[in-house]
Amino acid sequence: MVIIRPRFSFTFSRKVSTIINSMTIGRPAEMGPNIFRLTHADAKELPVEKVVDLYFKKYLPISSCLPTPLNRPQEPLIFIPGLFGSTKMYKKEIQRLCNLLNIPVYAVDLRSHGQSKYALPLSFNAYVSDMVAFMKQQGIERANVSGFSLGGKVAMALALKHPELVSKTLVVDISPATQIHLSPMIDSFIKGLTHVVEDAGINSKDKDWFEQADNALEKHVPHKPTRRYLLNTNLLREHPVKKDGKVHLKCALYHFKSSEILGWPEDEFKGKTYLGPVLFLKAKHSDFIQDSHMDQIEQYFPNYEIREVNTYHLIPNERPDFLIQNFANFIGKKESSF
């Protein structure tokens, strides 16, 4: 484990305050060549593991020079990124939220995402088991748990299976329901990324290699912010071992199944209810939370509220201010302009 402690000094009027920004970084999983996908044939089978160690970043608040301490919730916040996402995508936003709430924030990569270990199964049971083990390892008895998209489903599953571990739940544009109607979209992501590395003929030595990849993906994923979301997290300019001049993917692309990603284990959660506060952030131009899902939301999470924003699915990427403001208000403090 590595601890980074950059130090800065600022002067406010006649008062000088030293601000220490601390961030603890969990050790990334060993990066074997088998997790870098070039072709279907290279997509070697992943190991099957009941629980894996998750890569994480722990953000600590910058010491405030305000004369009055901020309101401080007792529990830290855990944030889980979405499908094909990773902790590296939201560093600035998480640090800002951390400073605002004056609590630790843990950003955690799910298994087979980011820098966590790549392993099967890719199921909600496995995701939840990993999160429980992570909290135990970090000595977190109880936390506010949040997640975007797939990460939001994991947050909900954790709250339903282990309500004693979750103080509040914050869910970004996803519902506790099966969303098989979104299968064509997920399939287009997989086909598009496959096209980028297998068929587009991109030379990684070209200066415009990333723009070439973006253009190649556009046919399958017209929405530019979504393309950038997929490429920034998963596309590598070169293989760590093979120096073949080709771009590569670092993700478990060919192991994700729409039925698992978009499913929801209704039988397992039948009769379960989480009574703690739950916030849903809903994107207006998105099909991830539908009117038909409201009965299930009310059944599982009777103490819920929903706030809508005029954007598409990628709320953390396209409307970070909205997310930070609502997270802060919900957890315990309104944002101010200091």
Q: How far are the Cα atoms of 35, 163, 226 from residue 318, in angstroms, in the given order?
A: 29, 31, 10
pTM: 0.85
pLDDT at 19 over 80: no
* Selected catalytic residue, list 86, 116, 129, 149: 149
pLDDT at 7 over 80: no
The share of the chain scoring above pLDDT 70, in percent, equals: 81
Question: For residues 116 and 93, what is the distance between their CA atoms, to the nearest angstrom?
Answer: 21
Question: For residues 250 and 115, what is the distance between their CA atoms, to the nearest angstrom?
Answer: 10
pLDDT at 82 over 70: yes
Could you confirm whether 146 is annotated as catalytic? Answer: no
User: What is the CATH class of 2-180+264-331?
Assistant: alpha beta
User: Parallel, antiparallel, or unpaired: how do β-strands 36-37 and 166-172 relate?
Assistant: unpaired
Could you confirm whether 255 is annotated as catalytic? Answer: no
- Sole residue written with tokens 């995402």: 113
10 against 213, higher pLDDT? 213
The length of the chain, given as a count of residues: 338
Read off the pLDDT of each residue in 264-269 and give the average, rounded to a whole number.
94
Q: How confident is the model at residue 3 (pLDDT cuts 50, 70, 90)?
A: very low
pLDDT at 96 over 50: yes
34 against 249, higher pLDDT? 249
* Selected catalytic residue, list 239, 248, 293, 313: 313
* Selected catalytic residue, list 173, 214, 220, 255: 173
Could you confirm whether 313 is annotated as catalytic? Answer: yes
| Domain edges within the chain | 2-180+264-331, 182-255
| pLDDT score, position 115 | 92
Of residues 306, 303, 305, the one with CA closest to residue 276:
303
| pLDDT score, position 337 | 44
pLDDT at 120 over 90: yes
| pLDDT score, position 73 | 53
Per-residue pLDDT tens for 28-73?
554 444 444 444 434 567 899 999 999 999 999 986 544 444 455 5
Per-residue pLDDT tens for 181-208?
999 999 999 999 999 999 999 998 999 9
CA dihedral 135, 249, 214, 194 (to 10 degrees): -120
- In the chain, DSSP assigns E strands to 2-4, 7-12, 15-20, 23-25, 36-37, 56-59, 77-80, 105-108, 143-148, 166-172, 235-236, 248-250, 278-283, 304-309
Q: How confident is the model at residue 158 (pLDDT cuts 50, 70, 90)?
A: very high
Per-residue pLDDT tens for 281-333?
999 999 999 999 999 999 999 999 999 999 999 999 999 999 999 999 999 85
Question: For residues 281 and 273, what is the distance between their CA atoms, to the nearest angstrom?
Answer: 20
| pLDDT score, position 64 | 52
